[in-house]
A and B are shown apart, each in its own frame.
Chain A
Amino acid sequence: MELVCPAGTPAALRAAADAGADAIYCGFANETNARNFPGLNFTREDLADGVDHAHRKGSKVLVAINTFARAGSVGLWTEAVDTAARCGADAIIAADLAVLDHAASNHPDLRLHLSVQAAANTPEAIRFYAETFGVKRVVLPRVLSVPEIAALNKEIEVEMEVFVFGGLCVMTEGRCSLSSYATGKSPNLTGVCSPPDHVDYHEDPSGKLLARLGGFTIDRFEAGQAAGYPTLCKGQFSAEGKTGYLFEDPVSLNAFEFLGDLAQAGVTALKIEGRQRGKAYIAGVVSAFRKAVDSLSGGGDPKPAIAALKAFSEGGRETAGSYKKTWR
């Protein structure tokens, strides 16, 4: 299986290539990509240099142009596709119909991957994208169990890519409006879930940390307690007299224990989340999962390297997410 790794900066791209990524995904520094955070991402020159470097190291570069274009103003998105093609990207990752159509019509040799933002989780939806735009791979939403992925694979002709580590979206991506509700900005349109200009933290003298988003206090961490991202889906809410994590705890995905099952289910590529993370995360997670993937075909024991990844996890905790739906 191919290991697909994140890069928010050229330095992170180099770290991912050095750590053994088969493919590296990245995006432009604008609202065409769903990690549109300050200080992150690539210019045209960065991407051209990054593609050269990755190719020399034997890695592919996939460019995420995976937000939905503004109505009546698709130019920024089509220009991003053209730039990615000119820079020698190996594929683009897109969800918007107009973006996919532009790529398929104008760059027929450019490989298309369907972003998780398209939330395509039925054979009918996936077949539509494959037949209409020639999509070669679908990135599956993080809401499917392993048996559901295996069943899906039997009904589609395209490759499947699944998330195996990192931040966990518990909503069906592309359809989540929680961030918009609190801030007016969303990953779907502006490329930011919980935009940092709407986030603030306050630690009181006792060490208690309050995390706020758009003026709403969404979580409170006691002194010394591991913290999480300021996302509404992992905030605490009071309902029917109870207060707690209504949707999901602050926790990160780690599907290491399912790699063999995912391979058997027909998965082609394993995706690591984290374009917003630093080089230390990229190097640590990519090299650990490199060992894990190689171990499936007789490599060394990856368990110590995988166990060390807990330190990178949100809230200091890990979950297998929907791959193991224990709540059913």
Chain B
Amino acid sequence: MQTHPSSESLPPLVSTLISPLPKPPMEALLSTLTRRLVARRPDLIRRLGDVVRVPIAIVPDDLPHAFLLSLDPDTSRVRICDKSRIGDASAIVRAPFLVLLGLLDGTYDGDALFFSRDLRIEGRTEHVLALRNTLEEADLTPGAFFGLGGRSADWVNALSDRLLGQVRAYAQKSKPAAGSARHLS
């Protein structure tokens, strides 16, 4: 299986550093932030349609864990699990972490990532599509995800843009020569 697409993979050191971190605090933080986002944007739940409460696994190729995302109006949660124990996910989305982030914030087009094979999906295609289209509409910024507004949101967004830009530039530089990365915007 193609575990590391050629585009924008994080250096292996990142995975090594993240691997021993305890999962419960990360799960609690991500679940809380996700629940707050859904509470602020009830339109996203409507747009999700049949995918409400359906667990979808997000699997970054270059991180040690998978994220099992389940969205609903009251009990949205993010579980972190081993990639080999994804369990009851209705669909699985695989890509390098930076590619997944780019999909989340609208930097990348999902279809183009699929064409280039940087993004792979398994399971219920309609669930992946509903989630992808809902995230497109969410217009997520880091500031919005953390529930910030005004100048603090602007500051966090600008900072994360800078950081992500640097990380992406580093990943692009260090990718294999035969790579097929598609930086699309």
Contact = CB atoms under 8 A, between A and B. Distances in A.
Contact of A197 (B48, B117, B125): B125
Contacts of B184: 280-281, 284, 311-312
Contacts of B46: 43
A39 B130 contact: yes
A11 B105 CA distance: 12
A311 B49 contact: no
Contacts of A38: 49-51, 126-127, 129-130, 133
A97 B130 CA distance: 31
Contacts of A278: 103, 106, 108-111, 132, 136
A280 B180 CA distance: 18
Contact of A39 (B106, B111, B124, B134): B134
Given A203-B120, A284-B185, A226 B106 contact: no
A207 B4 CA distance: 11
A318 to B, nearest CB: 12
Given A203-B1, A279-B136, A316 B115 contact: yes
B131 interface: yes
B175 interface: no
A202 interface: yes
A5 interface: no
B116 A201 contact: no
Contacts, number: 128
A196 B122 contact: no
Interface string B132-145: 11101111000000
B109 A277 contact: yes
A37 to B, nearest CB: 6
B137 A11 contact: yes
Contacts of B138: 11
Contact of B48 (A39, A204, A283): A39
A9 B135 CA distance: 10
Interface stretch (A174-182, A217-225, A291-299): A217-225
B185 A200 contact: no
Nearest to A207: B2
B114 interface: yes
A209 B120 CA distance: 9
Interface string A70-94: 0000000000000000000000000
Contacts of A200: 122-125
A276 B133 CA distance: 8
A12 B136 contact: yes
Interface of A: 8-12, 37-40, 43, 195-197, 199-207, 209, 221, 223-229, 276-281, 283-284, 311-316
Given A207-B1, A226-B115, A281-B112, 11 more contacts: A39-B47, A39-B49, A200-B123, A203-B1, A207-B2, A223-B2, A224-B2, A277-B109, A280-B106, A313-B112, A314-B115
24 contacts: A11-B136, A12-B136, A39-B130, A195-B126, A200-B125, A203-B1, A203-B2, A204-B1, A207-B1, A223-B2, A225-B117, A227-B114, A227-B117, A228-B115, A229-B111, A276-B111, A276-B133, A278-B109, A279-B109, A281-B109, A283-B185, A311-B112, A311-B116, A315-B115
